[in-house]
Chains A and B, each alone.
Chain A
Amino acid sequence: EVQLLESGGGLVQPGGSLRLSCAASGFTFSNFAMTWVRQAPGKGLEWVSGVSGRGDRTLYLASVKGRFTISRDNSKNTLYLQMDSLRADDTAVYCCAKGNVDGDYYYMDVWGKGTTVTVSS
């Protein structure tokens, strides 16, 4: 069974950092792009960042570029999101999702349940 399981969320002060992880199983992890999508409380879905199968190409939403870093460890079947200089408007549930291909342009065919990030003093 294909599964994605996020961890690492929590409460952090503005300006602080968090590192999210997403453990993947049930598919050949390195063959697919992976992505992070967030959902602020009561709001819609927002793509945050994506990474190619080998990890050599990364893409970011403009508002997180320079603050967030996406990476992956294919030996551990794990996706990461390092979040620095966090702001209140980064508060959201963060889901990892699998792209249908290894590339930049994909739909997400498997989603994790998400981990909650709350930025507040």
Chain B
Amino acid sequence: DFVMTQSPDSLAVSLGERATIKCKSSQTVLYSSNNKNYLGWYQQKPGQPPKLLIYWASTRESGVPDRFSGSGSGTDFTLTISSLQAEDVAVYYCQQYYNIPLTFGGGTKVEIK
């Protein structure tokens, strides 16, 4: 199975500051035939289901604010919130869809400092 390792487990960031979350896959999720990274990011607020933020490692889902961005390739990925807002308090998960079983990272909890 592909193991997805996120870091840190939690972070506290001041309003308006940058938040950076890392996700590392145990094997590459870059499919060479189409040069796409099979990696998504989700946001889960308390008491709510996950919401898709980013797919193909860097494509923002429709309606997602542009302060959210994804980067990386192969095995190492980053989700950046450029200017943290109060409504961004949540747990963030990465997910690989390159291999079955589909697997998620352990989550990163983002709080306000």
Known: A107-B40, A111-B50. A44 touches B101 (CB 8 A): no
CB <8 Å contact, B97 and A45: no
Is B61 in the interface zone, CB < 8 Å from A? yes
A100 contacts which of B55, B93, B107 (Cβ < 8 Å)?
A: B55
Residue of A whose beta carbon sits closest to that of B31: A105
Residue of A whose beta carbon sits closest to that of B40: A107
Give A105 to B31 CA distance when docked, in angstroms.
12
B104 contacts which of A46, A104, A111 (Cβ < 8 Å)?
A: A46
Query: Chain B residues near A106 (CB, 8 Å)?
Result: 97, 102
Give A109 to B63 CA distance when docked, in angstroms.
12
Q: Which of B55, B95, B102 has the most CB of A within 10 A?
A: B102
Is B68 in the interface zone, CB < 8 Å from A? no
CB <8 Å contact, B104 and A45: yes
* A-B contact number at CB 8 A: 57
Query: Chain B residues near A109 (CB, 8 Å)?
Result: 52, 55, 61
Residue of A whose beta carbon sits closest to that of B48: A113
Known: A100-B55, A105-B97, A107-B95. A50 touches B49 (CB 8 A): no
Residue of B whose beta carbon sits closest to that of A49: B101
Q: List 5 A-B contacts (CB under 8 A).
A: A35-B102, A45-B50, A105-B98, A107-B55, A109-B52
Which residues in B have some Cβ–Cβ distance to A below 8 Å?
38, 40, 42, 44, 48-52, 55, 61, 93, 95, 97-107
**For the complex of A and B, 7 pairs with smallest distance between CB atoms:** A107-B40, A111-B49, A47-B102, A45-B104, A107-B55, A44-B107, A105-B97
Apart from A44-B106, A45-B95, 8 more pairs, CB < 8 Å: A44-B93, A61-B101, A95-B50, A100-B55, A105-B98, A105-B102, A107-B97, A108-B52
